[in-house]
Amino acid sequence: MKIMYMGTPDFAVEPLKALYYSGHEICSVITQPDKPKGRGYGLTPPPVKVFALDNNLEINQPQSLKKIFFEEYLKKISPDVIIVAAYGKILYPYIINYPKHGCLNIHASILPRHRGAAPIQRAIMEGDTKTGVTIMQMDCGIDTGEILYKLECDISENDNFETVHNKLSELGALAIIEVLNMINKETLNPVKQEDYGVSYASKIENEDCLIDFNLSSVQIYNQIRALSPVPLAYTTLNNKKIKIIEAKVISSINDDSSYDIGEVLPAPKGKLYVKCLTGIIEFITIQPEGKRNMKASDLFNGRYINNGDKFK
RNA sequence: CGCGGAGUGGAGCAGUCCGGUAGCUCGUUGGGCUCAUAACCCAAAGGUCAGGUGGUUCAAAUCCCCUCUCCGCAA
């Protein structure tokens, strides 16, 4: 079966790897064009491209998937199935309907919850304790197709974006291999998505990263871990941006102390406790702008912060 | 050449503008106090101030020039 694989970031690498090493015929890898990234605007290839290059796979990085740019190439490759994992662009119907087995999407949530661009982050942010991957037969809606297969996993208290992301990309790899087996054995059983429990996981924007201390410590903790290690939640102190890498909920109940929201509280030596609307959060590892990662205690040692200072 | 911050004992910083004894908070090591301690007291070790063995100067962490590295923004 000729597979065209469409994917871009790290999440999409594991499934591609699994397909490649299990001997499936990957006749083309489609990924986003290299983008200028970081200081100095160096062109950076997406992770999927790096893997494809290392393994001498056919690569195409179309600027657009519109018919005039892509149809000819699609016909030339004429895949039997297209597998899509976090490609980053909407596929047009002419593409979805082209392969004999259609387009299969590896989605990092249990659909219909968290349809959309950032299912992993949104699941953690909302305090979900379970998530998973869904393999879906793509149709023209956003993550609305029939479910072919799914694998669940837990989100534990200590998970962050990175750990959940890694678990799910491995599950995605297992799941897509299984679905291809089912196709070969003709045991596939597509199921329509439920009508209830639908939610949308919109892309993470800059404002999603700003910490609002007018929330509970648990909500803030979930936000911090959902965005760690990238792009990281942040707050500001004395007009300097501070990213929070690691945090911990110290208290989730409201105390009637007179401290202000966002204020640095008295704490055991070297610990940084901050008052939230409800409860107290400890910042453990942080990164002030222009600086490297550091322990919260370093802020006190360097006279950067004092009890009573306020984050905004 | 996208904009900006930064490199000083093991960590985080001050000192740089205005050149003149290497400083602070912590950690480490040793000792003391204590029923005890991550607390307190005393003492010590540890730095060619990113690099150029660059320029200016009687004298450079500090001023000038070049290089390297790290980080924030933007994309």
Token pair in block for residue A33: 């064009």
The pLDDT-based confidence of A26 (bands split at 50, 70, 90) is very high
What is the model's pLDDT at position A304?
Answer: 82
Say whether the peptide bond before residue A229 is cis (omega within 30 degrees of 0): yes
* CA of A268: nucleotide with nearest C1': B38
Q: Is the pLDDT of residue A39 over 80?
A: no
Range with the poorest average pLDDT among A157-171, A252-266, A275-289: A252-266
* CA of A301: nucleotide with nearest C1': B25
- Over residues A227-244, the pLDDT tens digits come to 999 899 999 988 889 999
- Distance B46 C1' – A305 CA (angstroms): 27
Q: Is the pLDDT of residue A111 over 90?
A: yes
Residue A44 β-bridge partners: A35
* CA of A234: nucleotide with nearest C1': B72
What is the model's pLDDT at position A312?
Answer: 84
Question: What integer best gives the mean pLDDT of chain A?
Answer: 93
Strands (E) located in chain A: 2-7, 25-30, 35-37, 42-44, 59-60, 81-85, 103-107, 130-137, 146-154, 233-237, 240-251, 264-265, 272-275, 280-288, 294-295
Q: Which nucleotides of B are covered by protein (CB under 7 A)?
A: 1-6, 11-14, 24-26, 38-39, 70-75
Range with the poorest average pLDDT among A65-79, A183-197, A244-258: A244-258
What is the model's pLDDT at position A107?
Answer: 97
How large is the average pLDDT for residues A67-94? 95
Strand B and A107 CB separated by under 7 Å = no
How large is the average pLDDT for residues A46-75? 94
Q: Is the pLDDT of residue A119 over 90?
A: yes
Distance (Å, whole) CA A215 – CA A225 = 15
Q: Is the pLDDT of residue A20 over 90?
A: yes
Q: Is the pLDDT of residue A267 over 90?
A: no
* CA of A39: nucleotide with nearest C1': B2
What is the model's pLDDT at position A275?
Answer: 92
Question: Interior CA angle at A46 toward A201 and A112, to 5°?
Answer: 20
- Distance B23 C1' – A25 CA (angstroms): 67
- Distance B31 C1' – A287 CA (angstroms): 38
Q: Is the pLDDT of residue A40 over 80?
A: no
Q: Which residues 237-256 in chain A have a CB closer than 7 A to strand B?
A: 241, 243
What is the model's pLDDT at position A190?
Answer: 95
Q: Which residues 189-248 in chain A have a CB closer than 7 A to strand B?
A: 206, 234, 241, 243
How large is the average pLDDT for residues A199-212? 94
- Distance B28 C1' – A307 CA (angstroms): 27
- Greater model confidence, A123 or A44: A123
Strand B and A304 CB separated by under 7 Å = yes
The pLDDT-based confidence of A307 (bands split at 50, 70, 90) is confident
Instruction: Tell me the pTM.
Output: 0.90
